[in-house]
């Protein structure tokens, strides 16, 4: 009993009665719960700032450690041999992705192993609200497991298109790094990690051309299901951003509190407004509240 009383006092939901330490006084429930919510929000915001500070330090730490992103620093081309080594490098690159992941996946349905290998990468990109676009060979629609995966990507906010045109496998991250197979017809041999701007821009042009000519995959997911899936994917950082802007914070103040640049904050807000179907930030706040995002 005593531990329960102490817990209520610590949470601010009760206070000791003056002169009677074994008795509690209960404040107004609305005031007490409101204070508790503010305490939780402060803790969430503190954690978001900590994460943002840590992420800001990652490039420097990786450089010092000779880690994933800056491995072979200064080299415009990195050769990775073996399928498992490629998957591990993709995990590393995906961890540092900031804005987008574009990919072209040729061939028919993917194997169960390939689906499992890509699942964590997909979830990470969607959870962080990256611009994720994938073009598949239309033959992928012949397999029920593959179609279900595409529908999950679609529900989470990814964009999927299919085509009957012959495709060249590639992944482009943040429009800065391209990953292409060493042998186009045998991706298990390994991959080339390309950072040379002139080459990456060429891969981007090819991706955009393929994307523009491909058919949009609609899936069989209802708007309600898609809204529910999207709500599940929204990050704590985006929730804090929406909440700060809803209280009237300027972009500069919100960016400083969250720990990101003003430019990145505005890009993120534009993406959230598009997701919410809002023409203004006020409308975005109303719709976000309606969806219980804030």
pLDDT at residue 68 in the model: 45
**Cβ neighbourhood burial of 21 (10 Å; 0-12, 13-18, 19+):** exposed
Q: What per-residue string of b and e applies to 45-61 under the rule 16 or more CB within 10 Å gives b?
A: beebbeebeeeeeeeee
pLDDT at residue 54 in the model: 62
Q: Which helix (H) or strand (E) holds 170?
A: strand 170-173
pLDDT at residue 228 in the model: 53
Three-state DSSP state, 26: coil
pLDDT at residue 154 in the model: 81
Residue 37 CA to chain centroid, in angstroms? Answer: 26
Closest C-alpha to 130, from 172, 74, 191: 172
User: What whole-number distance in Å separates Cα of residue 92 and Cα of residue 196?
Assistant: 19
pLDDT at residue 287 in the model: 82
pLDDT at residue 102 in the model: 93
- Residue count (the chain): 294
pLDDT at residue 73 in the model: 43
Give pTM, 2 decimals. Answer: 0.53
Per-residue pLDDT of the chain (294 residues; tens, 9 = 90+): 667 666 666 666 676 666 666 667 666 666 667 777 777 777 776 776 666 566 555 555 555 544 444 444 446 888 889 888 888 888 888 888 888 899 998 888 878 877 777 777 777 777 777 888 999 999 888 888 888 888 888 877 788 899 988 888 899 998 999 999 988 888 888 899 999 998 999 999 999 999 888 888 877 655 555 555 455 556 666 777 888 877 777 888 887 777 667 887 888 888 888 888 888 888 888 888 877 777
pLDDT at residue 65 in the model: 47
The pair of structure tokens assigned to 237 is: 């950082």
pLDDT at residue 236 in the model: 66
Radius of gyration of the chain (CA): 24
Q: Which helix (H) or strand (E) holds 222?
A: none
User: What whole-number distance in Å separates Cα of residue 110 and Cα of residue 121?
Assistant: 15
Please report which residue ranges of the chain form alpha helices under DSSP H.
2-11, 29-65, 83-96, 112-127, 144-155, 197-213, 223-233, 236-246, 251-258, 262-276, 281-290
User: What whole-number distance in Å separates Cα of residue 221 and Cα of residue 229?
Assistant: 10
Three-state DSSP state, 136: strand
pLDDT at residue 238 in the model: 76
């Amino acid at each position: 009993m005593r531990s329960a009383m102490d817990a209520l006092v610590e949470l601010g939901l009760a206070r000791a009665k003056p002169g009677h330490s074994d008795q509690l006084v209960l404040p107004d429930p609305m005031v007490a719960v409101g204070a508790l919510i503010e305490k939780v929000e402060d803790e969430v915001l503190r954690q978001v700032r900590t994460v943002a500070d840590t992420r800001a330090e990652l490039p420097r730490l990786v450089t010092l450690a000779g880690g994933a992103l800056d491995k072979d620093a200064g080299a415009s081309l990195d050769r990775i041999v073996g399928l498992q080594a490629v998957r591990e490098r993709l995990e590393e690159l995906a961890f540092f992705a900031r804005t987008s992941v574009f990919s072209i996946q040729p061939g028919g349905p993917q194997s169960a192993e390939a689906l499992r290998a890509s699942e964590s990468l997909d979830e990470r990109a969607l959870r962080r609200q990256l611009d994720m676009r994938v073009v598949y060979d239309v033959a992928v629609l012949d397999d029920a497991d593959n179609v279900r995966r595409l529908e999950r990507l679609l529900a989470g906010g990814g964009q999927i298109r299919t085509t009957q045109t012959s495709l060249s496998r590639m992944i482009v991250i943040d429009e800065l790094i391209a990953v292409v197979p060493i042998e186009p017809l045998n991706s298990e041999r390994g991959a080339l990690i390309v950072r040379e701007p002139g080459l990456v821009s060429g891969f981007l042009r090819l991706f955009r051309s393929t994307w523009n000519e491909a058919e949009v995959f609609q899936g069989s997911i209802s708007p309600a299901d898609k809204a529910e899936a999207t709500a599940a994917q929204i990050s704590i950082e985006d929730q804090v951003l929406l909440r700060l802007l809803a209280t009237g914070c300027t972009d500069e103040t919100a960016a400083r509190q969250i720990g990101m640049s003003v430019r990145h904050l505005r890009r993120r807000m534009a993406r959230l407004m598009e997701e919410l179907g809002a023409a203004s930030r006020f409308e975005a706040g109303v719709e976000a509240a309606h969806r219980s995002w804030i």
